[in-house]
Amino acid sequence: MKFIDESRIEVIAGNGGKGAASFRREKYIDKGGPDGGDGGRGGSVFAVADRNINTLVDYRFARIHRARNGEPGRGADCYGKGADDIMLRMPVGTVITDINSGEVVADLAHDGEKVLLAQGGMGGLGNIHFKSSTNRAPRQCTPGTEGETRELQLELKVLADVGLLGMPNAGKSTFIRSVSAAKPKVADYPFTTLHPNLGVVRVSSEKSFVIADIPGLIEGAAEGAGLGHQFLRHLARTRVLLHLVDIAPMYEGTDPVHEARAILNELKKYDQSLYEKPRWLLLNKVDLLEDRDAKVAAFLKEFTDFDRYFVISAINGEGCKELTYAIMDHLLEMNELERQAAAESAQETDADII
């Protein structure tokens, strides 16, 4: 399954059916009166979040999604049949934006969430609605209204609690393999990871969090170098960023401090709010160092732009368990703060009403 995280589509709702202008005509019934029925409503287009889908590949080539029109009304008080609605199933985390207005139509953050994208037209009225004591043989009816048409941008932002940042070959995929059941590709060349990977980290039988691994960034990503910034959107919903740094680079002359600063510069160019998220520093591959304490101390003296730091080795799991416990505690603390803030906001709202 090819990973596609953005697409453009056009949704066209059905038009309402036309109302009928008809009169009852039966043997032995003189002047039976109007009996034209209403037209049926046009089909609407909905988006539905589905946790069993993880890519927008279905909308890469199927760009136009059109609902059927409602049937016209008929005589003998027969109403036209309404058209069926169209349900477009999309991954959880899809953001839908109206291309023409720039308005965010929906943010499908929960499984089963259903959102109207284009409203079907209403059916027209038949002449039975226009009869009165002074107008006993109305010949007027109304056409159905047109359905909505919209051009939409679909953008998938994966739902994860923790996001991984780092240069290619910093060890992000090895780390996510070490702490979760995810099995991303690992190799000794840059850009092994070509699309985001999600892993569930289980700290205990009742506690877990989701971690997202995205392709590595390089200096100049804002200008399109490497894979550019195209996957950074998948870190937008995370609560904490883990900045992995290869403290024991393979090639001579590679400066870990320079690479760490380059990542932060690219992050800042892409999105200031993403740059301001809590960011933890992970000094990886310490198993390759002989004088690890001195190397770590020298790095931390030069690079101080982080909230917390951990010394780990993703290949053998050193320090990873302690890190996952710290992440879980941090997420639980954030959940509690958000719960308290929501409770205080609800109390203030109740007080204003009173």
Instruction: For 6-45, write each residue's pLDDT tens digit.
Output: 889 999 999 999 999 988 888 887 778 898 999 999 999 9
> What residue type is 22 in one-letter code?
S
Enter the pTM of the model. 0.70
Q: How many CB atoms lie within 10 A of CB 229?
A: 17
CATH topology of domain 6-156: Spo0b-associated Gtp-binding Protein; Chain: A, (2.70.210)
Q: Measure the CA–CA gap between 81 and 237, rounded to whole angstroms.
A: 43
Domain residue extents for the chain: 6-156, 162-340
Instruction: For 291-335, write each residue's pLDDT tens digit.
Output: 888 888 998 999 888 889 999 998 888 888 999 999 999 999 888
Statement: 162-340 belongs to CATH 3.40.1440.60:
no
Q: Measure the CA–CA gap between 241 and 219, rounded to whole angstroms.
A: 18
Q: Measure the CA–CA gap between 106 and 321, rounded to whole angstroms.
A: 37
Backbone conformation region of residue 226, classed left if phi is above 0, alpha if psi is from -120 to 50, else beta? left
Q: Measure the CA–CA gap between 93 and 52, rounded to whole angstroms.
A: 12
> What residue type is 128 in one-letter code?
I
Instruction: For 188-234, write each residue's pLDDT tens digit.
Output: 444 444 567 778 888 888 888 888 887 766 555 555 554 445 667 77
Helices (H) and strands (E) in the chain, counts: 6, 14
Q: Measure the CA–CA gap between 100 and 84, rounded to whole angstroms.
A: 27
Q: Measure the CA–CA gap between 320 and 286, rounded to whole angstroms.
A: 12
Q: Classify 138 as helix, strand or coil.
A: coil
When pLDDT is cut at 50, 70 and 90, the band that residue 48 belongs to is very high
Q: Is the pLDDT of residue 186 over 70?
A: no
